[in-house]
Amino acid sequence: MAKRSGTVGFSKYRKHPAALSVILFLGLIVTSGVYTLGANAANEYARSSVDAAAIMNDPASIDAGKRLFATGCATCHGLNAQGNSDGPTLIGVGAASVHFQVSSGRMPMASPGAQVMRKKPQYTEEQTLQLAAYVASLSPGPEIPTAAQLNWAGADLAEGAELFRANCAQCHSFSGRGGALTEGKYAPSLMIATPQQIYEAMITGPQAMPIFNDQTLNLEEKHGIIAYIEYLKDSPNPGGFELGRYGPVTEGLFLWTIGMGALLMVAIWIGVKAK
């Protein structure tokens, strides 16, 4: 969903009264063809080879993190991460939250809107971990998942799919391509989140998303869900093009534009030929 980050500047127009009339046009244009493009966008946030545990355990990281924090985050979260009018306190949010927010480019927040959006990350993986180490040093919270916690190989795909439909689909949709929430908020597409980010999202519950701690979903179940999301990312599509996996709405648009369009053209052609 690189599209999302591209629309940051657009967000101030979206409540514009004219926006609705634009829907009619854009809706048709957008749906006529580009769905499949975004769906399986390559994973631009590949896991880096940085040794996370080493950095998190290195006491020097906390200082480095504190410095980064003072320049990049303190304006909104306060010098000691205690929070102020521009941002909430980060005391107790945990390293997982910082890693999720910063590695997905949400933090530092760029512009206010209905929802903080995913964008290109501003910090390297190493800096991100240093920030996480600093925030975690203030007060404990959900930790960055270990390599073992992220080893989802051998997970039960069918069970994961079932859990995904029961716990995630109502916001992220059956295909994981996301969905609208109230007042301009949305659950984003899951197609570019890394397994680590998926895990961290579950344990920290960013913004409107609920927290799925180990009582709600145990480690095995989390692995199942991650396995299913990874499956969705490049699952085979036995039926052919999937029109962006939006379901009946794009199917209907396809039928009315391309389907009816082609048949009408044939009918007109036969009509003209007859003359």
- Report 9-48 residues binding another protein (CB under 8 A): 10-11, 14-15, 17, 19-20, 22-24, 26-27, 30-31
Contact (Cβ atoms closer than 8 angstroms) between residue 190 and residue 198: yes
Q: Per rule CB under 6 A, is residue 2 in the interface with ligand HEC?
A: no
Which part of the chain contacts another protein (CB under 8 A), choosing from 53-61, 94-102, 128-136, 153-161? 153-161
Rounded CA separation 199/217 (Å): 11
User: How far, CA to CA in Å, does 30 sit from each of 2, 231, 260?
Assistant: 15, 26, 17
User: How far, CA to CA in Å, does 242 sit from each of 4, 20, 33, 36, 38?
Assistant: 20, 26, 11, 7, 12
Q: Per rule CB under 6 A, is residue 177 in the interface with ligand HEC?
A: no
Among 137, 167, 235, 257, binds ligand HEC (CB under 6 A): 167
Contact positions with ligand HEC (CB under 6 A) in 66-85: 72-73, 75-77
The entry of ligand HEC, another protein, none near residue 89 (CB within 5 to 8 angstroms by kind) is: none
C-alpha atoms less than 13 angstroms from C-alpha of 18 in its C-beta half-sphere: 3
CB of 207 to another protein, least distance (A): 15
Q: State which residue, 98 or 117, has the beta carbon closest to another protein.
A: 117
Contact positions with ligand HEC (CB under 6 A) in 195-224: 197-198, 201-202, 204, 206-210, 212
The DSSP code for 106 is: -
Q: Which two tokens stand for residue 140?
A: 């404990």
φ, ψ of residue 84 to 5 degrees: the values are -150, -160
Q: Per rule CB under 6 A, is residue 36 in the interface with ligand HEC?
A: no
Rounded CA separation 26/151 (Å): 42
The entry of another protein, ligand HEC, none near residue 60 (CB within 5 to 8 angstroms by kind) is: none
Rounded CA separation 186/169 (Å): 13
Residues that bind ligand HEC (CB under 6 A): 72-73, 75-77, 86-88, 90, 93, 97-98, 101-102, 104, 106-109, 115-116, 118, 131, 167-168, 170-172, 181, 187-188, 190, 192-193, 197-198, 201-202, 204, 206-210, 212, 225
